[in-house]
Amino acid sequence: MQTIFGAGSLWGTPLTDATGAAVAVPSPVQFGLSQEISIDMSFDNKLLYGQNQFPVKAGRGKGKISGKVKNAQVNGAMWNSIFFGQTLSAGIANIKQDSVGILIPATPFTITAGAADSLVAIKIPDAGTWATDLGVVTAGGLPMKRVTAAPATGQYTVSAGVYLFAAADLGLKVFINYGYTAASTVATKSSVANLPMGYAPTFRADILLPFEGKAVTYTFYSCLASKLTVATKLDDFVVPEIDFDCFADAQGRIFDYSMSE
């Protein structure tokens, strides 16, 4: 008797990008650390009635196949290939949330986000470059107000990573949060553009459900992702979820399946 146990494995092979252009050399990506994979197949049944209570004929109408995968491993190649289908590039675009703090120094009352830590500077991680201000808070958690020039008590200005504070705030401990960019051969980033309706990447989905030396496999030849959910939790792992629908490819194929029995 063949049975199925566990979450199984799912691979997505990109077919087209968001503009509909065929992917020249498709690179399959696995949905790593899968927690759940579900496939729902349904049809509309059309029933023919006469004068009596029950139908005398039944026919099958429209069909639908939808899928869902929850996987804990995240990577830019998978999200871009399956869901966004736009330009993916190497590099870091990250946020530094300060949990250490630094004291506002004496004249000229500036703190610089730069290459090294000191009494008047904070080090940007990954040998990066300051990109955007995300606010300054005091040790008591109060946000300071950003102004364009001549900051007064409780205010600051910032330009190109150089933060200027009021002389009256000398010695105040502040926490500086900011975004930065950096070079990387591993990290990936993308800027998602507002494309016309109808534009979306497509992919092939291959599913393996093994147990006790036997397996059930599916190949869905054309799929279109409809939803990406990233829900965070306190004191738990984040498990993103991708929903998708399946449709016929250019050869009219919907899916293949195989079982050991």
Supply the mean pLDDT for the chain. Answer: 96
pLDDT at 47: 97
pLDDT at 34: 95
Place 254 in a pLDDT band, splitting at 50, 70 and 90: very high
pLDDT at 197: 96
pLDDT at 42: 98
pLDDT at 154: 96
3-class secondary structure per residue, the chain: CCCCCCCCEEEEEEEECCCCCECCCCCCEECCCEEEEEEEEEEEEEEECCCCCCCCEEEEEEEEEEEEEEECCCCHHHHHHHHHCCCEEECEEEEECCCCCEECCCCCCEEEEECCCECCEEECHHHCEEEEEEEEEECCCCECEECCCCCCCCEEEEECCEEEECHHHCCCEEEEEEEEEECCCCCEEECCCCCCCCCCCEEEEEEEEEECCEEEEEEEEEEEEEEEECCCCCCCCCCCEEEEEEECCCCCCCEEEEECC
Domains of the chain: 9-41+61-88+194-259 (2.30.110), 92-182 (no CATH)
* pLDDT one-digit tens code per residue, 110-137: 999 999 999 999 999 999 999 999 999 9
pLDDT at 102: 96
pLDDT at 152: 97
End-to-end Cα spacing for the chain:
8
pLDDT at 143: 97
pLDDT at 180: 98
Place 39 in a pLDDT band, splitting at 50, 70 and 90: very high
* pLDDT one-digit tens code per residue, 68-109: 999 999 999 999 999 999 999 999 999 999 999 999 999 999
Cβ pair 227, 242 in contact under 8 A? yes
* pLDDT one-digit tens code per residue, 58-68: 999 999 999 99
pLDDT mean over 214-234: 97
Percentage of residues in the chain having pLDDT higher than 90: 100
Per-residue CA distances from 259 to 165, 208, 209, 222 (Å): 69, 10, 10, 21
Token pair 């289908």 is found at 85
* pLDDT one-digit tens code per residue, 134-177: 999 999 899 999 999 999 999 999 999 999 999 999 999 999 99
